């Protein structure tokens, strides 16, 4: 049974021009939708963000970024696991182990101050990188979209600050007790 | 048995693979660039226009204009500007007869101005200026006169045109009178009209006949090859709008494809370098483009006000504006074209009564000087304020080097290329230190 001409043409058009039908791109949009930083974005905005991201593959043991290096991009883990480490002469202090859907190095979206820790792939890892300069350009052209991301970033940093303050207070209390 | 091969670690094999494919890819790239070198200029023009239009596109997007419509508007604007400039410049380029007339006019006007300046009488004696510098200028002026003088074939062609078109009334035609005046003056200055650049006349007539026969027999071939050449040029230049369109449509996919090839260790550094280079280069190129546009418009306005006519003011302003991208030499090119046209201008409508045919060249010089003053005092500080600055010596050597390598195109692109190299090296070193690579 043959499809009507209109549907055939529509399918042809989608094959050539509609990148969103690409399974890997669709997958990328779904992953971004799960990241708290992009929680406020609608599907169109998520597709817009997906277009400015970079896909990276890291082998087991490879460093994603180094402590002390200037930060230029935020990373979202697509598959695999990553250790956040304070390097030392021995093995180094592991602060956290992140898995798929988590993000790291988000402060690099604000400025190029040095990284406060290193990120090392525990196993073969696929990561999505969002570059600060691309976000800044997005802010220029689509201010509402860019400001949604920055607002989420500010909220996340605020929450982390509160958590750190609580942990510090608890640590001081336990020390004095 | 492949023990030796198997003994290699995966990392070593990967390294070898990258080196070999990298070298092969680079060689292929060089071969392609060289083979398709005729496409380079249209591609560069299209890419440059797209690069210059990116901030406009961003601005239109900020005004909530849909991307497709914004790109379509820019594309139409690009097409309109290119076709307007090329049609005006093409109209200004004379045909064969026009070229002969132009030489006759230049020769006449030059002689006129020279006589007025030196006031040489029938005995060959002139004013004080002639007595002071005449001996030095005279040989140069004679050589210039010989260069401009039509050779016997060209004279025959010129005569034939006027006989065919005006018959006896040709003696009333301005340019024909100039032609006769030039002949008389040339003979008066000791020139031999029967000689063609030092060759005896007996040969030149035979040569003219032979060349006419050759011309008629080769006409078809020449027409074909000419059509072929025009077709080739048109199809090559068709690349420019396509490059323009697709680079405007691109949302960083080209950059991402390049960055994908970068090893993870250098990923962030390369992104930072690319961004910084883009930033510095964008400021420089957009600033220079804006400066050239302002210079071109100022010249157009100035030349129009002194009475050069809208068409010629546009053509000279466009060429001088474009040439202004060449440091130091650009203003001289503008002055030369403007003064050259002012020298031969026949009809003009100045807005001020103090301007006449005799002082037209002086007024062109004033317009060019005022434009340069405005450029240095106002335009450059505003539009090129914090863009990359180069040492004047580097600029001069670069422009001369560009001219030796690629002629006018080389001169035009020398400074942007130097700016790219400077910014890339500076940023690369800074970022390599920041990322503790060196």
The last residue of a domain, from among B166, B198, B217 = B217
In our burial notation (b when 16+ CB lie closer than 10 A, e otherwise), range A12-27 reads: eeeeeeeeeeeeeeee
Same structural domain for residues B296 and B403?
yes
Nearest CA in chain A to B56: A141
Q: Does residue A38 sit at the B interface (CB-CB below 8 Å)?
A: no
| Whole-number pLDDT of residue A136 | 92
- List CB contacts (< 8 A) between B264 and chain A: 56-58, 62-64
Is the Cα torsion angle B290, B295, B299, B305 positive or negative in sign? Answer: positive
Collapse the DSSP code of A18 into the 3-class scheme (helix H, G, I; strand E, B; otherwise coil) and give the result: coil
Q: Is residue B199 part of a domain?
A: yes
Residue B203 lies in a domain: yes
Rounded (10°) angle between helices A23-34 and A43-50: 110
The reply to whether B3 falls in a domain is no
Cα B54 versus chain centre, distance: 24
Tokens of B287: 């600033």
- Number of compact structural domains in chain B: 2
User: What is the per-residue burial (b if ≥16 Cβ within 10 Å, else e) of B285-315?
Assistant: bbbbbebbbbbbebbbebbbebbbeeebbbb
According to the model, what pLDDT value does residue B203 have? 44
In a domain, B402, yes or no: yes
Look up the ipTM and state it.
0.81
B200 in the same domain as B346? no
Q: Which chain A residue shows the shortest CA-CA distance from B435?
A: A69
Q: Is B158 inside any structural domain?
A: yes
* Residue B435 and residue B305 share a domain: yes
* pLDDT for B142: 82
| Average pLDDT per consecutive 10 residues, chain A (177 residues; last block may be shorter) | 57 53 71 90 91 89 91 93 88 87 91 91 92 91 90 92 91 85
Count the neighbouring beta carbons within 10 Å of the beta carbon of residue B406.
Answer: 14
pLDDT at position B254 is 85
pLDDT value of residue A22:
57
Residues A87 and A63: beta-carbon distance below 8 Å = no
Q: What is the pLDDT of residue A41?
A: 92
**pLDDT, tens digit, 9 for 90 and up, residues A30-68:** 889 989 899 889 998 999 899 899 999 988 888 999 999
B contact set with A (CB within 8 A): 58, 61-62, 251-252, 256, 259-260, 264-265, 267-269, 271-272, 275, 431, 434-436
Query: CATH number of A5-172: 2.60.120.10, 3.30.70.1900, 1.10.1660.10, 3.20.20.70?
Result: 2.60.120.10
A 66-85 → B contacts, CB under 8 A: 66, 68-73
Query: Which residues form the domain of B372?
Result: 252-438
In a domain, B233, yes or no: no
Distance from CA of A162 to the nearest CA of B (A): 30
Query: 3-state DSSP helix/strand/coil percent for chain A, to nearest 5?
Result: 50, 25, 25
Spatial separation of the C-alpha atoms in residues A37 and B218, rounded to whole Å: 74
Judge whether B44 lies within some domain: no
Nearest C-alpha neighbor of B57 from the set B243, B253, B248, B282: B248
| pLDDT for position A150 | 93
Which residue, B167, B197, B217, sits at the end of a domain?
A: B217
From first to last of its 438 residues, chain B has per-residue pLDDT tens of: 454 555 567 777 777 888 898 899 999 989 988 888 778 888 888 888 888 888 888 888 888 888 888 988 988 888 888 788 777 777 777 777 788 888 888 888 888 878 877 777 777 777 877 778 777 888 888 888 888 888 888 888 888 888 888 877 777 788 888 888 888 887 777 766 665 544 444 444 444 444 544 444 454 444 445 555 655 656 677 778 888 888 888 878 888 888 888 888 889 999 999 988 888 888 888 888 888 999 999 999 998 888 887 888 888 888 888 888 887 777 888 888 888 888 777 777 777 777 777 778 888 889 989 998 998 888 888 877 666 677 888 888 888 888 888 887 888 888 888 888 888 898 889 888 888 888
Report the residue from B61, B271, B275 with minimal CB separation from A141: B61
pLDDT score, position B296: 92
The reply to whether residue A72 touches residue B272, judged by beta carbons under 8 angstroms, is yes
Strand partners, A128: A55, A76
Q: Are residues B259 and B212 in the same domain?
A: no
Last residue of a domain, one of B169, B200, B217: B217
- Given a contact cutoff of 8 angstroms between Cβ atoms, the answer to whether B248 and B57 are in contact is yes
Q: Which of A52, A62, A71 sits opposite B252 (nearest CB)?
A: A52
Residue B290 covered by a domain: yes
């Amino acid at each position: 049974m043959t499809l009507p001409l209109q549907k055939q043409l529509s399918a042809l058009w989608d094959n050539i021009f509609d990148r969103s039908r690409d399974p890997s791109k669709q997958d990328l949009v779904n992953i971004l939708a799960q990241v708290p930083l992009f929680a406020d974005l609608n599907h169109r905005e998520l597709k817009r963000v997906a277009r400015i991201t970079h896909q990276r593959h890291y082998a087991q043991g490879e460093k994603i970024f180094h402590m002390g290096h200037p930060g230029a991009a935020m990373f979202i883990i697509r598959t695999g696991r990553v250790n956040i480490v304070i390097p030392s002469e021995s093995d180094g202090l592991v602060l956290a182990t992140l898995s798929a859907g988590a993000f790291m190095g988000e402060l690099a979206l604000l400025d190029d101050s040095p990284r406060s820790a290193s990120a090392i792939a525990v196993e073969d890892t696929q990561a999505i990188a969002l570059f600060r300069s691309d976000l800044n350009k997005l802010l220029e052209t689509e201010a509402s979209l860019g400001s949604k991301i920055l607002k989420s970033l500010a909220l996340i940093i605020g929450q982390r600050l509160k958590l750190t303050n609580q942990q510090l207070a608890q640590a001081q209390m336990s020390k004095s007790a | 048995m492949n023990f030796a091969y198997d003994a290699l670690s995966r990392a070593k094999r990967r390294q070898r693979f990258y080196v070999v494919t990298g070298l092969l890819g680079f060689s292929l790239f060089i071969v392609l660039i060289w083979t398709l070198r005729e496409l380079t200029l249209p591609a560069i023009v299209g890419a440059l226009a797209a690069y210059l239009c990116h901030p406009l596109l961003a601005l239109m997007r900020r005004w909530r204009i849909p991307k497709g419509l914004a790109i379509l508007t820019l594309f139409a604007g690009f097409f309109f500007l290119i076709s307007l400039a090329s049609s005006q410049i093409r109209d200004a380029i004379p045909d064969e007869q026009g070229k002969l007339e132009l030489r006759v006019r230049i020769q006449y006007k030059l002689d006129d101005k020279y006589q007025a300046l030196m006031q040489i009488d029938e005995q060959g004696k002139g004013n004080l200026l002639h007595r002071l510098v005449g001996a030095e200028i005279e040989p140069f002026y004679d050589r210039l006169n010989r260069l401009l003088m039509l050779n016997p074939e060209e004279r025959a062609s010129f005569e034939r045109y006027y006989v065919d078109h005006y018959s006896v009334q040709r003696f009333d035609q301005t340019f024909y009178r100039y032609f006769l005046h030039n002949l008389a003056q040339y003979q008066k200055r000791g020139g031999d009209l029967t000689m063609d650049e030092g060759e005896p006349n007996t040969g030149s007539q035979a040569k003219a006949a032979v060349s006419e026969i050759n011309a008629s027999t080769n006409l078809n071939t020449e027409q074909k090859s000419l059509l072929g050449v025009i077709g080739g040029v048109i199809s090559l230049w068709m690349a420019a709008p396509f490059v323009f369109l697709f680079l405007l449509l691109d949302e960083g996919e080209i950059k991402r494809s390049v960055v994908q090839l970068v090893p993870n260790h250098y990923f962030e550094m390369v992104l930072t370098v690319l961004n910084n280079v883009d930033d510095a280069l964008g400021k420089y190129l957009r600033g220079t483009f804006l400066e050239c546009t302002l210079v071109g418009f100022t010249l157009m306005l100035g030349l129009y006000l002194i009475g050069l006519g809208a068409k010629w003011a546009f053509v000279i302003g466009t060429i001088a504006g474009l040439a202004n991208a060449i440091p130091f030499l650009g203003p001289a090119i503008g002055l030369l074209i403007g003064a050259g046209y002012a020298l031969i201008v026949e009809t003009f409508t100045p807005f001020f009564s103090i301007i006449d045919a005799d002082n037209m060249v002086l007024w062109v010089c004033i317009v060019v000087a005022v434009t340069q003053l405005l450029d240095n005092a106002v335009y450059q500080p505003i539009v090129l304020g914090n863009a990359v600055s180069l040492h004047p010596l580097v600029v001069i050597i670069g422009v001369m080097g560009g001219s030796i390598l690629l002629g006018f195109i080389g001169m035009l692109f020398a400074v942007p290329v130097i700016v790219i190299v400077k910014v890339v090296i500076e940023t690369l070193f800074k970022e390599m230190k920041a990322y503790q690579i060196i």
